[in-house]
Amino acid sequence: MTANLTHHTRKKHVEIDHHFVREKVLDGVLQLAKRVYLGKDSRTVARRMAPPLMERSTNWYLPSAPMVYAVISDPRTVDNPDMPSYQPYVHGMYDPPALIPLQMMGVNLNVDCYVDTAIIVVSGTWRIHCVMGSRSCDCLIAVPMGNQGSILGVEVDLPTKSYVTELIGEQESKGIGKIARPEDGGFLKPHIFTLTIPQIDGGTNISIKIRWSQMLSYNAGRFSLTVPFCFPEYVTPAIKKISKKEKIELNVNSGVANGISCKATSHPLKEIRRHEGKFSFLYEAEIFKWSNTDFRFSYSVSSGNIFGGILLQSLYDYDQSDMFCIYLFPGSEQNRKVFKKEVVFVVDISESMQGRPLESTKSAISAALSKLSPEDSFNIIAFSNEAFQFSTSMELASKDAIERATAWISMKYTVGGSTNLFIPLEKAADMLSNTRGSIPMIFLVTDGSVEDERNICHWMQKRLTNQGVLCPSIHTFGIGSFCNHYFLRMLAMIGRGEYGAAFDLDSIEVQMNKLFSKGLSTVLANITIDAFDDCEEIEVYSSRIPDLSLESPLTIYGRYQGSFPDNLKVKGILGDLSSFTMDLKIRRAKDIPLDSVLARRQIDLLTAQAWFSENKRLEEKVAKLSIQTCNISEYTRMTLLEKNIMKHFGAWKKKGDPQKIVESGPPEMILLQRLSVGFGDQIATAENIRPGSQEPELPEVAKIFIKTTSNYFGGICNRCCCMGCIRCCSKMNNQCATTLTQLCTALACIGCLHCCSESCCPNQDD
């Protein structure tokens, strides 16, 4: 989801019932798949390939596990490649094309957990079971990822070709002549990556390896992981005799924590290894149908008090320096005293926040107010081109004050005009300038980008430096792709706070609640590491160390040259305003790839610093780190390398001789569309365009899932007696449904929808 000035387009927003279209369309696609004759030895396929209407969630049509789809433009190509059957001639083409989920022949899931990060690899084989052996089709790979997922790469192996994704620098990308279409690769949703592999023959087995990283969730001393691994029933091969193997391997290395224990798992894992601070599990079985639930796992860390440690890793890369990482854990004790708080919520109510963004923000603020203690104080500032205050001064969080504030914010509506961010931030900082005996904090929520963002950062940096101990922590939250997320990240870094974001409307309230809870449960503030001030050879990536919250461990990382100090002490202030000091133990991370584990966080943080300082050397550093760790960045582009391969036996071929795979010719490089989030869109902000009101940058991919086969199915549903047609279709046998699909396709192509409406809705069961 890229948002920048050059790619900004202006389109009228058309309100349509997307859920209605999606449900009718996907049912039609699955009816198209019934053209494929599976033979007498096939197992019984579920009569309902899609869930019943009453059981469907809002996004039921989206993939809930790694999936591969045949992209069908010509319905005449749909048939069993092994057992061709008689198919009546079908006129017309699908625009946009239809998607038929491919059958999966085997799948392996490998999960490596390192402290709070998981590196996930899914390897599987899919077969194009629905296209004639003499024809070919594009194949769409869809990869749903979990919490803060980041795609690392895709590898595809075919009998005569192979494909692999690769990141290159911006300058290098300018020399590539072949540019992929927007629908050939990108993000369908913020957490779903898609990639199209061109023209694969029917009947081909496709071997695919997908890699991504994601964060583990943390709560009360327990880490939890959820990996999308719920496969729909219709990807299970219909032939009974086909072997179906499912394998899951899980490795956990807690890093600095000892005494860990497994708490819950969704699949029957068997423990195969255990050492201090790490263990491994394995599940492998012949199954009747693929996993129908996400893979879930959790483990706990035993200590109840604040604890931590240091991990060191020697690197041999572009920087010629080694890496360190400090982990601080809040412990599992939930009754530990948190700080007395003075909180100001700064909320964008510009016209673009109209609808779900503002309503979700109101709900999250109301929930946050209810968590305040009576000795806490708060205020709310709503802003667009001017600022509106709930109260002229800070209010104690009494029951009456919270009720009045909840009523005040619930009555606030969006206001037109420009977005002025400096004035409300200045008011909030002034309100908290005389804080005594409590921790001041600001929560900023916005969906827009403004011109003076760097000036705001400079001003806040200078103000907080002069204010000294217990200066306000600043937590920022960005909604949608029009705001500058790197500005918000930088502002949070300056203010020792946390940054959060929601790129789609469905996740706003959930993600905002997480940010508010994390900020309001601070247990250790004003954290310093004594050796950092005395050693010039240590580079800490965050200029100001954030506070430690009960809701999440704290990670401090950077680079060092030479020898690392033997002893380090962490210092801070506890919730009762007493001093805290702790020695940190140092450990060599021989079996933890810190560079890969921390890559996503490093890239985001360094990109924010590069934006703020306008430093070209930092941009180059981010680009090198991005290429080295395979993580997307603002300064690199993703390409798809296509290699032609052939099997070679040597001069004399003997039975049983191993085949040698050799490349034939140089690989072809295809440049994908830009995948990064960008640096905000000031034009969209000035025009008050709402998040989600425009078509995404990948319109065709989105339409495939939303409007697939709309020409032959959606049009009929819109113009015919819809419920009668649906009831009729649900009672048809396969042959009748196939004939009806073909008939509707032909009629839709010549525009005879009126004729179709008279013949499509008979009151009969066959």
**In 466-592, at which residue ranges do the beta strands (DSSP E only) sit?**
473-479, 499-502, 522-529, 538-540, 548-549, 554-560, 568-574, 579-588
pLDDT band at residue 31 using 50, 70 and 90 as cut-offs:
low
Superfamily of domain 341-520: von Willebrand factor, type A domain (3.40.50.410)
Please classify residue 320 by burial: count the beta carbons closer than 10 Å to its beta carbon, then call 0-12 exposed, 13-18 middle and 19+ buried. Answer: exposed
Q: Which residue has the higher pLDDT, 445 or 92?
A: 445
Burial 486-504 (b: 16+ CB within 10 A, else e): bbbbbbbbbbbbbbbbbbb
CB 214 within 8 A of CB 118: yes
Backbone phi and psi for residue 363, each to the nearest 5 degrees, phi listed first:
-65, -40
Please count the other Cβ atoms lying within 10 Å of the Cβ belonging to residue 31.
20
| Residue given tokens 């039975």 in the structure block | 655
Taking only Cα atoms into account, the Rg of the chain, rounded to an integer number of angstroms, comes to 28
Candidate from 131-135, 221-225, 412-416, 592-596 with smallest mean pLDDT:
412-416
Average pLDDT of the chain is 81
- Cα-based angle 438, 307, 271 (whole degrees, multiple of 5): 135
DSSP 226-262: EE--B--GGGS-SBTTS--EEEEEEEEE-TT--S-EE
Candidate from 154-163, 417-426, 535-544 with smallest mean pLDDT:
535-544
Sign of CA dihedral 173, 178, 182, 188: negative
Please classify residue 321 by burial: count the beta carbons closer than 10 Å to its beta carbon, then call 0-12 exposed, 13-18 middle and 19+ buried. Answer: middle
Torsion of CA 12, 13, 19, 22, to 10 degrees: 20
* Among 108, 82, 190, 52, residue whose Cα is nearest residue 675: 190
pLDDT band at residue 752 using 50, 70 and 90 as cut-offs:
very low
Query: Cα–Cα distance between 591 and 448 in angstroms, integer?
Result: 43
DSSP state of 544: S
Per DSSP bridges, beta strands 103-114 and 245-253 are: parallel
Backbone phi and psi for residue 575, each to the nearest 5 degrees, phi listed first:
-65, -25
pLDDT band at residue 727 using 50, 70 and 90 as cut-offs:
very low
Query: Cα–Cα distance between 239 and 38 in angstroms, integer?
Result: 7
Tell me the per-residue pLDDT of 246-296, one tens digit each, with 9 for 90 and over.
999 999 998 876 667 888 789 999 999 888 778 899 999 998 889 999 999
Q: H helices then E strands: how many in the chain?
A: 18, 35
Is the omega angle on the peptide bond into residue 96 within 30 degrees of 0, that is, cis?
yes
Report whether pLDDT(30) > 70: no
Beta-carbon contacts of residue 111 (< 8 Å; ≥ 6 apart): 118, 119, 120, 225, 227, 248, 249, 250, 251, 295, 297
Say whether 366 sits in a helix, a strand or coil.
helix
Sign of CA dihedral 490, 494, 500, 502: negative
Q: Tell me what pLDDT residue 261 has.
A: 80
Q: Tell me what pLDDT residue 338 has.
A: 79
- Rounded to the nearest 5 percent, the helix, strand and coil shares of the chain are 25, 35, 40
Query: Cα–Cα distance between 320 and 427 in angstroms, integer?
Result: 45
Query: Cα–Cα distance between 92 and 73 in angstroms, integer?
Result: 9
**Which amino acid type is present at position 726?**
I
Long-range pairs of 120-125 with CB within 8 A, sequence gap ≥ 24: 120/211, 120/212, 120/213, 120/214, 120/227, 121/209, 121/210, 121/211, 122/66, 122/209, 122/210, 123/207, 123/208, 123/209, 123/210, 124/66, 124/207, 124/208, 125/205, 125/206, 125/207, 125/208
Backbone phi and psi for residue 30, each to the nearest 5 degrees, phi listed first:
-70, -30
Domain boundaries, the chain: 307-334+526-607, 341-520
Q: Tell me what pLDDT residue 50 has.
A: 53
Candidate from 162-176, 250-264, 450-464, 616-630 with smallest mean pLDDT:
250-264
Torsion of CA 720, 723, 728, 731, to 10 degrees: 150
Q: Tell me what pLDDT residue 159 has.
A: 94
Give the pLDDT mean for 632-643.
96
Both tokens of 555, joined, read 């990670």
What are the beta bridge partners of residue 227? 295
Torsion of CA 521, 525, 530, 536, to 10 degrees: 90
Report CA 757 to chain centroid distance, whole Å. Answer: 42
pLDDT band at residue 95 using 50, 70 and 90 as cut-offs:
confident
Both tokens of 400, joined, read 């009456």
Report CA 474 to chain centroid distance, whole Å. Answer: 24
pTM of the model: 0.83
pLDDT band at residue 544 using 50, 70 and 90 as cut-offs:
confident
Beta-carbon contacts of residue 711 (< 8 Å; ≥ 6 apart): 92, 94, 95, 748, 749
Tell me how far CA of residue 736 lies from CA of 80, 607, 745, 746, in angstroms.
18, 58, 14, 15
Length of the chain: 766
Report whether pLDDT(667) > 60: yes
Candidate from 193-197, 310-314, 320-324, 649-653 with smallest mean pLDDT:
649-653
Report whether pLDDT(244) > 90: no
Q: Which residue has the higher pLDDT, 753 or 383?
A: 383
Query: Cα–Cα distance between 538 and 533 in angstroms, integer?
Result: 9
pLDDT band at residue 305 using 50, 70 and 90 as cut-offs:
confident
Question: Left (φ > 0), alpha (ψ -120 to 50) or beta: where does 68 sit?
Answer: beta
CB 90 within 8 A of CB 745: yes
* Among 513, 466, 8, residue whose Cα is nearest residue 219: 513
CB 387 within 8 A of CB 427: yes
Query: Cα–Cα distance between 644 and 658 in angstroms, integer?
Result: 19
pLDDT band at residue 46 using 50, 70 and 90 as cut-offs:
very low
- Cα-based angle 74, 66, 251 (whole degrees, multiple of 5): 160
pLDDT band at residue 349 using 50, 70 and 90 as cut-offs:
very high
Tell me the per-residue pLDDT of 390-425, one tens digit each, with 9 for 90 and over.
999 999 999 999 999 999 998 887 777 778 899 999
pLDDT band at residue 41 using 50, 70 and 90 as cut-offs:
low
DSSP 640-674: EEEEEEEEE--SS--TTPPPEEEE-SPPEEEEPPP
CB 344 within 8 A of CB 380: yes
Query: Cα–Cα distance between 670 and 730 in angstroms, integer?
Result: 43
CB 75 within 8 A of CB 742: yes
